[in-house]
Amino acid sequence: MLHPGETNVVRSRGSFMTGYYPYHLGLQELFADHAVQIINNVDPSTQPLFLYLPFQAVHDPLQVPDKYMSHYPTHLRQDRRSLLGMVTAIDDAVGKIVDRLRQRGFLQNALLVFTTDNGGNPHFGSSNFPLRGAKGSLWEGGTRGAAFVYSETLLKKTGYVNNGLMHAVDWYPTFLTLAGGNPASSIDGVNQWLSLSEGHNSSRTEFLYNIDEVTNSSAIRVGKYKVTHNAGGTHSLRPHNQTGVVSPLIVPTPMFTSEYQLFDLENDPLENIDLSSQLPDVLENLKSKLALYQQTLVPAVGTSPRVPEADASNFNGAWSPGWC
């Protein structure tokens, strides 16, 4: 939640996770209650508020109070019921926070953003169906996220779906611009405020998904075209509804054996039709852009020599700073 104006920041991370909360309360309730405490201690007329709230759900381990599980039928697979319950717990938590923001007067000049960071893991009850792939992959099922923005006063266009290109790094310059700042031209993100608030075309025309020199895989999108390199042949996956079924239902999708694939995401968001042989010029253009990004790549930690002094055995089983 962002209150434009000055640059004072109040933010919340995991440091408040202390043991005074009864164990029957869920983690999402704990987060919501602490967020409400922060909101109660800020004067909306004199103190701008930026509240970053990183919910731990939905994510494994799949744990949620029974009261949220009871919303869903018992014939569903256990992990699916747990995950759906976690979503409901977040719904309650977000509702509590929004209600308090409204009671305190923050929503008169605020922007609320709800977003995700990646696709779900079907092996833990999630489903990205009908998109191909899952969390950890370069396919749209692993990288395409849903989000929404809400404001009672700041949005000139509301109630519509925006399908423009946007990358996670764009949130920072967008927030900064809205708060009256000037994003540096050297950062990766671009200001998307006009696109979000008025429905203008996206300020972004391309983005890099990833370049992983350890697995020798990469992907990039320019306009409507996407190139994948050694992305693997991940199927589309969706969770099965029957109790006791461990693996998700695999939906047959074309498997690719070539090193590079080219997709038109506007007409083929499921990434079923490889156009690399039909549009060789487009393929080569995107491959050249990948090569340009490759030149500025900072080597991954996994490609650097191991440092024996950092081994967990030297720190009572815990990795030293620099590892996660």
Q: How far is Cα 88 from Cα 96, in angstroms, rounded to an integer?
A: 12
Higher pLDDT, 233 or 183: 183
Nearest 10 degrees: CA dihedral of 312, 317, 323, 324? 150
98-112, 124-138, 140-154, 302-316: least confidently modelled range: 302-316
Helix ranges, the chain (H) = 27-40, 66-69, 78-104, 140-143, 171-178, 193-198, 280-295
What is the per-residue pLDDT for 256?
Answer: 82
112 in Cβ contact with 150 (< 8 Å)? yes
Q: Phi-psi bin for 199: left (phi > 0), alpha (psi -120 to 50), beta?
A: left
Beta strands in the chain (DSSP E): 112-115, 147-150, 206-212, 217-222, 225-229, 236-238, 249-251, 260-264
Q: Which amino acid is at 232?
A: G
Tokens of 272: 């079923």
Tokens of 280: 């060789």
What is the per-residue pLDDT for 245?
Answer: 55
Higher pLDDT, 311 or 88: 88
pTM here is 0.80
Q: Examine the pLDDT at 6 and tell me if it is beyond 50.
A: no
Roughly how many angstroms between the first and final C-alpha of the chain, as a whole number?
28
Dump pLDDT digits (tens) for 289-318.
999 999 988 877 655 667 777 777 877 777
- Per-residue pLDDT, averaged over 185-193, amounts to 91
Estimate the share of the chain in helix, then strand, then coil, as percent rounded to the nearest 5: 30, 10, 55
What is the per-residue pLDDT for 139?
Answer: 94
- Per-residue pLDDT, averaged over 261-267, amounts to 96
- Per-residue pLDDT, averaged over 11-27, amounts to 40
154 in Cβ contact with 109 (< 8 Å)? yes
pLDDT range class, residue 324, cuts 50, 70, 90: very low
Q: Return phi, psi of residue 50, to 5°.
A: -115, 115
